[in-house]
Chains A and B, each alone.
Chain A
Amino acid sequence: MGSGEDAYGVLSVDPTGEHADVGQIARYGAGLLRFCKGHWFARVLAEKETKRTRAAVFALGHELARAIAEESGFPDMLHLLPAEGLRPDSTTYFHTQITLNQLCYVSHENLLSLGADTDAVLAEYSAGAAEAKLLLVRYPSAARCRTARDALLEAYLKCRSVQSDPVVCPVEDAGAAGVQAAPPYLVVVLGAPDATAARDLLSRAVGRLPGGANNG
C-alpha cells in the first residue's frame, strides 16, 4: 500500500477475527490470515482449514512478516476517538465513499465529499443497550468540511435551514443522527437510539479534537 496507514486501513475494513501475533496487527479465521506491517497488507489463505494448514498459514505469515523490515505508525486519527463505550474491533480507517457505504450506508451520492485526500474513521459505540456509530472525517480544507456538513444536513438529516452546530435530528428508519463541523474535522453520529445518545457521543468526540469544541 501507499502508506502504513493505508495498510492498516485495508485490514480494518473488517477488524473482526481471532487476534494473531503476526506483523503489527493480524487477524485469523477459517484458514485466512490477514496482517499489516509497514506499508504492506498481506493475506495468506488455505483452501481448507485443518490443523496442518493453520500451522502452514501461520508459518508462511511469520516468514512474510520477517521479510518486511519496516514498521509504521497507525492512523493518528485513531487517537481522537473517545475511549468510553468504544466497542473492540469495530474501528475502520478509510478514505472513500465506497467503503463508507459498505460499512454504514448514507447515500449513493458522495455527500461527505470523501476521496483519496480525506481521512475517515468509523467506529461503533455502545449507547446504553443499543449502539451508535461515530464517523470522523478530516478534510484538506475548512471550506470542504463545511460543504460536506451542509450537504449531509440537507440530504441525509433533511435539515434545510442553516442551523448552528451541533445539529441532531431523527432519521427515517435510522435512529438519530448528529453532525458538528470543527474544521478541518467533521464529526457525525449515525444510528444512535435517540437524540440524547447522539448528542452525548457527538459532544465527547468533538471534545477530543485539536482545539476542542471552539472550532466552528
Chain B
Amino acid sequence: MVSRGIRTLTNEQSEKSAWAHLFRPSDVVGIKFSRCGWMRVPTRQEVIDAVSAGLKTVPVDAGKIHAADSGLPASMCTALINATSLKAHTLTGFAAAIKNYINFHPNPQQYHSESGRNLGEIWLRPELKGKTRLVVLDLITPYFGSGPQIDPRYQADYRGVLLATDPVAADTVALHLCQRMRDRHRGKPWPISPPPFFLSAADKEYHLGTADPARIKLVRLGWEENTLV
C-alpha cells in the first residue's frame, strides 16, 4: 500500500523514482512515528518498515534513517517523515499528523489546553521547520472513540494508508474520515468534541498547509467500498 501510494502521490512509475522524488541519498531522514500503546493505536511496525525500505531504494543509507516516537534527533535530520495513526482525542478532538509532533516540545502537556489550538507552532521550531516532506497515516485500524482508554467498539477495521505532502490536508481528510466513522457507528451525528481548532490554526495562522477541502485532491486506490471519504 505504501509503495503504490508513493508512486501515485509522486506520479512516478518505479518505487525508486517515487522516493527519489522526495528524498536524496545525502538526506538524513527522521521518521516520527507514534507508539500510543495504551490506546492500541500505534503506527504499525510494518508501515514504518515499508517507509524505511522505500527510503533505502533512493538510496538513503540505513545509518541515516532514524525512527522514533520520542527522542528523534530532529536537529541532525535534513528531512522528516510524519508516520502516525489516527485517533479521536479527549483533549484535542482528534490526533493525526499535526499532533504527532507534540513530543518534540519539552512540555507537551501545555498543548492539550484550548483543544490544542497552538499545536501548529511546534512545527515552526528550528529543528523541524520546513523539513517534513511526507506524511504517512496508518489507517489500518483507526480509532474513532475519544478514550483515553481503549474501547474496541470504536476501532475500525479500515485497512488503509494515507500519504500526503501536506500535513494539514492529510489531517483534514483524516478528520472527515473519523467523523464519518463516528456517525456511521451511532447511526446519527456524533460530533467530534472538542472541535479540533488546531486544524484551522495550522492552516490560517501557522501556514503549514491547507484545510480547505476544495483545495485538496484526494486520490483513492484499491477498494472503493466503505472508504467513507
Measured CB to CB, the residues of A under 8 A from B are 14, 17, 29-32, 43, 45, 49, 98, 101-105, 108
Q: CA of A20 to CA of B194 in the docked complex: distance in angstroms?
A: 30
Please give the distance in Å from B153's CB to the nearest CB on chain A: 4
Please state if A31 and B152 are interface contacts (CB–CB under 8 Å). Answer: yes
A30 touching B152 in the complex, CB below 8 Å, given contacts A98-B91, A102-B193: yes
Query: Can you report 13 A-B residue pairs in the complex whose CB atoms are below 8 A from each other?
Result: A14-B151, A29-B153, A30-B151, A30-B152, A30-B153, A32-B152, A102-B90, A102-B146, A103-B193, A104-B193, A105-B194, A108-B115, A108-B197
Q: CA of A32 to CA of B154 in the docked complex: distance in angstroms?
A: 11
Contacts of A31 in B (CB 8 A): 152
Most buried by A among B145, B146, B152: B152
Contacts of B145 in A (CB 8 A): 14
Measured CB to CB, the residues of B under 8 A from A are 90-91, 113-115, 117, 145-146, 149-153, 191, 193-195, 197
Q: CA of A29 to CA of B186 in the docked complex: distance in angstroms?
A: 14
Please state if B194 and A101 are interface contacts (CB–CB under 8 Å). Answer: yes
Please state if A108 and B91 are interface contacts (CB–CB under 8 Å). Answer: no
Please state if A105 and B193 are interface contacts (CB–CB under 8 Å). Answer: yes
Q: CA of A94 to CA of B146 in the docked complex: distance in angstroms?
A: 16
A45 touching B194 in the complex, CB below 8 Å, given contacts A98-B90, A98-B91, A102-B146: no
Measured CB to CB, the nearest residue on chain A to B91 is A98
Measured CB to CB, the nearest residue on chain B to A10 is B149
Please state if B113 and A108 are interface contacts (CB–CB under 8 Å). Answer: yes
Q: CA of A98 to CA of B149 in the docked complex: distance in angstroms?
A: 15
Contacts of A104 in B (CB 8 A): 193
Please state if A17 and B193 are interface contacts (CB–CB under 8 Å). Answer: no
Please state if B193 and A29 are interface contacts (CB–CB under 8 Å). Answer: no
Please give the distance in Å from B156's CB to the nearest CB on chain A: 11
**Closest 7 A-B residue pairs measured CB to CB?**
A30-B152, A108-B114, A29-B153, A30-B153, A101-B194, A105-B193, A105-B194
Q: CA of A29 to CA of B115 in the docked complex: distance in angstroms?
A: 29
Please state if A17 and B194 are interface contacts (CB–CB under 8 Å). Answer: no
Please give the distance in Å from B155's CB to the nearest CB on chain A: 8
Q: CA of A49 to CA of B149 in the docked complex: distance in angstroms?
A: 17
Measured CB to CB, the nearest residue on chain A to B117 is A108
Contacts of A108 in B (CB 8 A): 113-115, 117, 194, 197
Please state if A32 and B151 are interface contacts (CB–CB under 8 Å). Answer: yes
Please give the distance in Å from B141's CB to the nearest CB on chain A: 12
Most buried by B among A17, A31, A102: A102
Contacts of A101 in B (CB 8 A): 115, 193-194
Please state if B195 and A105 are interface contacts (CB–CB under 8 Å). Answer: yes
Please state if A32 and B153 are interface contacts (CB–CB under 8 Å). Answer: yes
Please state if A29 and B152 are interface contacts (CB–CB under 8 Å). Answer: yes
**Additional A-B contacts beyond A30-B153, A105-B193 (6; CB < 8 A):** A32-B150, A32-B152, A32-B153, A49-B152, A102-B193, A108-B114
